[in-house]
Amino acid sequence: MINSGVSVVLVALSTVNTAVMVGLAFLYRPSRATGIWTFAFTLAMITSYGWVAADAMGSVSLRAACAAAMLGATVFIWVGLRVRRGARSYTWIAVVFTLTCTIVLPLTAELDAFSIIFRAAFVVAGVFAALTLAELVRIGARMRHETLPLAVASAGFIIFSVLSVADGLMRGFPTGGAGAGDALSLIRDLNSMASIVYGTAAMITLLLLSREGASTPHVTLTTTPFRAVAEDRLRRAEAAGDPWWCLLDIRLDDPEDLREAFSAADFSRIADRFARDVTSVLPPDADIESQGDSGIVVLLPRPEGAVRQLLARLLDRVATADSARPIATRVSASIGWASVDTVGYDLDELLAAARAASAQAHRSGGDRWERVTLPVG
């Protein structure tokens, strides 16, 4: 029988976790991934109530079914992570595992072999926890702070699954009814505690991933206030034959390395300083839009000579040491420069050309600008 205090905590946290995922993740950014994660948390919540009911009724079969469903919920978390990165989901694996466990475990709950079967299911769930950990690693260092809670919980789940095997080996996998119940007491405690820790850690990580959204290295081309203003300015400039317009793509050099080297707070200070440097150097009539925390696009009405002076000042300003930055940090930027007299007045073409130029500047060592000199197309 599960400790009553643990049961109350499990029910309370699973309910809160589900409400948070529905309200702050799924409704905020509906997607297939957030839908799968919400289903996993709902399944875990229903299971926690069933677990308490099973203890109150003394139903071994219901308790086994709830334990099986709880293990299945962890597999759906792995499925959601795969869906988020656009990989094949393998949803059928989670469904088959969950249904198989919820059928087999209750049917064998009072048999001599239940101890072995339960541990086997726990170990298989540990394998999926390892796969979840692998998916979190694939997300990369950019969001390592967001993925850390679930990564640690998944590692703990793997350890618990190993402990279940070790416990069985030490006990010699007893098969008697009463003996099996004693043998599984540690595993039941581990299962209930793991459900609390894993559920809370999963809620934190998946909520952050849901609100962050899938990352993309490309400049967004959706309708924004910047796009509306920029397209209007370019239309009027083209009609007037004004050639003194250009688009700048300004990128902080090696942001991933900076994230790896420093804490989230330190990187945030670096990114804030970078944004302030850009806005302080550029003139008031420049239209500016941030692209994440390490990129900025600018539509600028200036002749070539004036643009060169501005870019030189900007690179010097970004590279200037600041006492607010972490010790021994050298920050630089790469700038792509696309002019309308070379690329044309189409905003999408200017964005693409400037982005390619900034990437070339970065490949050339960074701390420089690269100007588009040949027409696009």
Taking only the tens place, the pLDDT of each residue in 61-87 is 898 898 889 999 999 999 999 998 878
Checking if the pLDDT of 321 tops 90, the result is no
Q: What is the pLDDT of residue 221?
A: 41
Rounded CA gap, 159 and 145, in Å? 22
Q: How many CA atoms lie within 13 A of 177 on its CB side?
A: 4
Residues 44 and 198 sit within 8 Å (Cβ to Cβ): no
Residue 176: pLDDT band by 50, 70, 90 thresholds? very low
What's the token pair of residue 332?
């630089």
Rounded CA gap, 195 and 77, in Å? 13
**Helix 4-20, helix 32-57: angle, nearest 10:** 160
Rounded CA gap, 203 and 70, in Å? 15
Checking if the pLDDT of 234 tops 60, the result is yes
Question: Residue 213 — left, alpha, or beta (φ > 0 → left; ψ -120 to 50 → alpha)?
Answer: left
Q: How many CA atoms lie within 13 A of 164 on its CB side?
A: 26
Which of residues 155 and 178 earns the better pLDDT score?
Answer: 155
Rounded CA gap, 111 and 162, in Å? 23
Q: What is the pLDDT of residue 217?
A: 39
Burial of 342 (0-12, 13-18, 19+ CB in 10 A): middle
pTM here?
Answer: 0.61
Buried b (16+ CB within 10 A) or exposed e, 293-323: bbbbbbbbbbeeeebeebbeebbebbeeeee
Rounded CA gap, 80 and 35, in Å? 8
Q: What is the pLDDT of residue 35?
A: 92
Checking if the pLDDT of 149 tops 80, the result is yes
Residues 35 and 52 sit within 8 Å (Cβ to Cβ): no
